[in-house]
Amino acid sequence: MAQHYKNGFPMKDLHQIIKILNICADRVGTNQLYEKPVQDILKVCGFPFLMEKSSDELVYKQIVVESISQIGYIMRVLSSDVRIQVCNTLLQLTTEEHTQELHDFKPASLEFTNKMVELSDISETLIKSLKLLENDLPAKLKVLEVLQYFSKRSARNCDQMLSVDGGCMICSNFMDPDPSDQLLFRSVDILWNLMENGNVAILAKQLDNISCISKLRDAFIYQLTQGHSHYDRQLRNDLLVLTTLVAYHCPHAPFVETGFAKHLTLFATFQEVKSHNALVRHLKLFTNHEDFELKKLLLNILLVLSKNSTVLSILSEGRILLALFSYVRPNEKKNLPREWSPAQFEELQLQAMAALCTLCPLLLEDYMTCQGSTRLLLLLEWCVGTAEFSGHGNSFYSTGGRGNKKAQLRHCLRLLRSMVSTEDYQVLQDLVDQGAINQLIGVLNTSFTQKTYENDEVEIEMQTDILFILSCLCDGDMHRKDLFGIPGVDMVIRYLHTDTRLLNSGLGHHKLLLASVDCTWCSIVGSYTTEDYFLEKEGVFLLFDLLEVCPKKMHNIILGCLLDLCENPKTANHILTWRGKDGCTASHLLCQIWRQEEVEIGVKRNNHGVILDVNKPLMGTFQANLGIVSLPASCISQSVADVQENMRSKIYSLFFKIGFTDLPGISVADHVTLAVIEQYLDLKMGEVWEEIIGELGEENVKPVSADLEAIEALTRAILERSQIVMTTQVELLESKNNQDMLDEQEFYAEIRENRRQKEKAIADFTDYVARTSNFAALKAAKERQDISIDVSRMRPRLKESEHFHATDLPKLTSTVFSGKHIIVQNSARDELASKIKVKLDRTVRPDIKMASYKFLTI
């Protein structure tokens, strides 16, 4: 049969052929003569399956899948040659493309065959067969070769292997005797493929046991101490990556129980911390790429292992911080023989500082022993100094540090930030004693003097970290706030001037502004000297400018800072003086934030902000839906939690400081809101009492008569207070409506007056036309004018005097006034004097003319 089908089996005959193959395979155990036919049939199965029609791929798809699975089942035969032939058949079937021309048949494509292999359970079968090959090394290596190919090409095959605990099965064979060294290599490669193409979490879980961790430990130590070739170093690094994978996904894996954690700590620190352990006595790491990667992988896995608290004692015993702090020093341009190159040292330095950010807060005693604060401040001084250094920027940690010291400065500040975040008194005091506050302020004032919109993302992050560090150092300590001093206030004022349009730039300006406000709160507020200078520099105005335009998430911290700042009596005047956009005042802005807060939490109000439910004047939708829940005494009730979760309590406290009356620039809507704000404390106390009464009812607690009377009195008082607030709000709105109606009437009166003026102008023009076109009308108008003039005189008796001069011209046919000149009849004496004057003027000499004139005038 094998001779007849020497070019491959047709798909239509596969069912019978596989049946014959199974019969022969079952008889191999009793008769060795069947071993040869089984191998011959398997060799033919290595050729592509043949199709008579193009549709055979669809028609015989399931038969092909079952046939491939049956080929895998032949691994049950207790014959090494048969098992090896099964593996060779599978490799030939899935890797070799046959293009020979056959009469009446066409070979199936390699793509179709690989797809059928994925649909079969051949991968599961091969994994299970490893248990049968404990003493059959050649067959085991061949199976691993097939699994290596299957896992590299298909994610589905990887999932099948993992479904039958393939990770653990393969890892358990790591240290089996193998003169060819293929076993470990192929096993590691399969696990690597499972990691890349399969479910990493499942693989890590399968390796999370003492047996597998022990195998990984032994294989790694063997390759590290006995391997010398390039291949051995690569395999050693791959094992460490697999170990890191298990440690990352399974933090409580038995690394401590197997001693692997101790060994890893030893290998990571033996260069920096001398050890007499036999494993590292003759161990040396060179500057080649593989050893450099090993060093970085060792630092990384210790960082991952630190998630397990039981590993911390091992790291402390291994003096891991001392080893890492050996890299926290200024970079040198020259390196000694067998030391890392400058580029390699820079990468290790940055990774060491990144690891210290995680390990130092966990090992505070070791940090203080290593004088970590001193080392960091010295490195910080070098980073901002004038010493020339050009970073290589070759690693993930050196972002933005090519050609400068930014990467070192960035990680130095990150490490300082991690340490001050612990809030450990000794650490904070040690930094303050060494002048960290003034040094950090100096860094901001000298190294970051350009405008913030000119900074990149890394520079913004570093400035944010410095402000955060200063906040942690000065928080709650008056002496440290005094050390912050005037230079610190000037620095904070400069950052509060940051353009708020940069908040959405994506570079981290929102964090920078938040850090500035936090630094104001922690480093300035509370010290009279810095507070007064901050007020002189219009710091309150800057905070309100930021409050007006910043996102809602920043409101809480700004309001908290302003509230504590209001303990200074000078602050209230600054708040009342502030003006924002369009003349907005601080009181109007606070009322607006209050209304927005109530809308967000769902407090019941009408369109004008009036209380709708007097029984729940402050309660939001979430709290109302939650209802009364009986809680233990150690838990905070919903009413009390509401004070902490929103900003209404801060706004009330601010108004309490600046007053509720005589506030500038507030509208009627603000007055309506103020009516609630002013009674917030009483209404909140009433809400808490209502909750207490409700909880007593939930717990079936019946108060005594005296307590019952007190409860009823409280309930009435709460209801009355809410009704008073609602009545006040309604009265305010009614007064507003009445005032609007009066204003409307005045506006209409002005319109009517304007209309009357227009009508008068039309009448005057009509009268003018009549006077100019009709003499009778003109004459009548003249008479009316004369009568009007006579009536308007205050002293009509002058008309009866002897010398009365008329102001009008007789027989003038015009109603306009005559002009500025009038005709006056002189008396006889006046006429005589005028004649004498004229005669004298003609006879007197020019030189005595003026004197004669004066005499006559006298």
Q: What is the mean pLDDT of residues 408-437?
A: 95
> Among 340, 418, 346, which residue's Cα sits nearest to residue 376?
418
Q: Which of 92-101, 177-186, 309-318, 565-574 is predicted with the least confidence, judged by mean pLDDT?
A: 92-101
pLDDT above 60 (res 24): yes
- Phi, psi of 611, rounded to the nearest 5 degrees: -60, 130
Instruction: Give me the DSSP letters along 576-635.
Output: HH-B-GGG-BHHHHHHHHHHHHHHHHT--B-TT--BS-TTSSS--HHHHHH------TTS
Residue type, 631: L
Tell me how far apart the alpha carbons of residues 301 and 295 are, in angstroms, rounded to a whole number: 10
Name beta bridge partners: 354: none
Cα separations in angstroms, 86 against 2, 19, 77, 122, 253: 15, 16, 10, 11, 37
Tell me how far apart the alpha carbons of residues 696 and 718 are, in angstroms, rounded to a whole number: 18
Place of tokens 């570079």: 507
> Among 529, 525, 532, 582, which residue's Cα sits nearest to residue 559?
525
CB of 255 within 8 A of CB of 305?
yes
pLDDT above 60 (res 828): no
Q: Which two tokens stand for residue 791?
A: 């009536």
Distance from CA of residue 101 to its chain's centroid? Answer: 65
Residue type, 285: L
Helix or strand or coil: residue 548? helix
State pLDDT tens for residues 637-660: 888 888 888 899 999 999 999 999
CB of 327 within 8 A of CB of 290?
no
Tell me how far apart the alpha carbons of residues 190 and 168 are, in angstroms, rounded to a whole number: 12
Instruction: Give me the DSSP letters along 251-302.
Output: TTSTTTTTTHHHHHHHHHHTTTS----GGGSS----SSHHHHHHHHHHHHHH
State pLDDT tens for residues 428-459: 999 999 999 999 999 998 888 766 556 788 89
CB of 374 within 8 A of CB of 415?
no
Cα separations in angstroms, 432 against 201, 312, 439: 45, 28, 10
Tell me how far apart the alpha carbons of residues 319 and 262 are, in angstroms, rounded to a whole number: 11
Tell me how far apart the alpha carbons of residues 828 and 760 are, in angstroms, rounded to a whole number: 51
Q: Which two tokens stand for residue 651?
A: 């706004």
> Among 588, 542, 578, which residue's Cα sits nearest to residue 561?
542
Q: What is the pLDDT of residue 816?
A: 65
Q: What is the pLDDT of residue 836?
A: 54
State pLDDT tens for residues 668-698: 999 999 999 999 998 888 888 888 888 888 8
pLDDT above 70 (res 194): yes
Q: What is the pLDDT of residue 844?
A: 44
> Among 677, 679, 688, 678, which residue's Cα sits nearest to residue 642?
688
Residue 293's Cβ-side half-sphere holds a number of Cα atoms within 13 Å equal to 14
Q: What is the pLDDT of residue 834?
A: 57
Cα separations in angstroms, 823 against 795, 804, 809, 820: 21, 11, 9, 11
CB of 128 within 8 A of CB of 164?
yes
pLDDT above 90 (res 254): yes
State pLDDT tens for residues 315-344: 999 999 999 999 999 887 666 556 788 889
- Dihedral of the alpha carbons of 770, 774, 780, 784, in degrees to the nearest 10: 30
CB of 217 within 8 A of CB of 263?
yes
Q: What is the mean pLDDT of residues 695-715?
A: 84
Tell me how far apart the alpha carbons of residues 198 and 183 are, in angstroms, rounded to a whole number: 21
> Among 379, 369, 288, which residue's Cα sits nearest to residue 327?
379
> Among 368, 248, 271, 249, which residue's Cα sits nearest to residue 323?
271
Q: What is the pLDDT of residue 276?
A: 87
Q: Which two tokens stand for residue 158?
A: 């990887």
Name beta bridge partners: 106: 51
476 secondary structure, DSSP code: T
Residue type, 711: I
The mean pLDDT value of the chain amounts to 86
pLDDT above 90 (res 532): yes
Higher pLDDT, 693 or 573: 573
Tell me how far apart the alpha carbons of residues 419 and 402 are, in angstroms, rounded to a whole number: 27
Distance from CA of residue 781 to its chain's centroid? Answer: 87
Tell me how far apart the alpha carbons of residues 226 and 233 are, in angstroms, rounded to a whole number: 10
Alpha helices in 500-569 (DSSP H): 509-519, 528-536, 539-549, 555-565
Confidence of residue 848 (pLDDT cuts 50, 70, 90): very low
> Among 419, 437, 532, which residue's Cα sits nearest to residue 477?
437
Q: Which two tokens stand for residue 419?
A: 């340490």
Tell me how far apart the alpha carbons of residues 586 and 675 are, in angstroms, rounded to a whole number: 17
Tell me how far apart the alpha carbons of residues 154 and 159 are, in angstroms, rounded to a whole number: 9
Maximum Cα–Cα distance for the chain, whole Å? Answer: 182
CB of 243 within 8 A of CB of 236?
no
Q: Please name the residues in contact with 757: beta carbons below 8 A apart, sequence gap of 6 or more.
A: none
Pairing of strands 50-51, 106-107: antiparallel
pLDDT above 90 (res 704): no
How far does the chain reach from its first CA to its final CA, in angstroms?
169
Confidence of residue 850 (pLDDT cuts 50, 70, 90): very low
Confidence of residue 833 (pLDDT cuts 50, 70, 90): low
Q: What is the mean pLDDT of residues 695-720?
A: 85
Q: What is the pLDDT of residue 118?
A: 92
Tabulate helix, strand, coil % of the chain (nearest 5): 70, 0, 30
Q: Which two tokens stand for residue 429?
A: 């005091």
pLDDT above 90 (res 185): yes
User: What is the residue extent of each domain of the chain?
Assistant: 579-773, 828-857
pLDDT above 50 (res 855): no
State pLDDT tens for residues 359-378: 999 999 999 999 999 999 99
CB of 188 within 8 A of CB of 235?
yes
Name beta bridge partners: 611: 605
Q: What is the pLDDT of residue 413?
A: 96
Q: Please name the residues in contact with 414: beta carbons below 8 A apart, sequence gap of 6 or more.
A: 353, 354, 357, 465
Tell me how far apart the alpha carbons of residues 513 and 546 are, in angstroms, rounded to a whole number: 9
Tell me how far apart the alpha carbons of residues 710 and 247 are, in angstroms, rounded to a whole number: 62
State pLDDT tens for residues 199-228: 999 999 999 999 999 999 999 999 999 888
pLDDT above 70 (res 805): no
The counts of H helices and E strands in the chain are 41, 2
Tell me how far apart the alpha carbons of residues 614 and 725 are, in angstroms, rounded to a whole number: 9
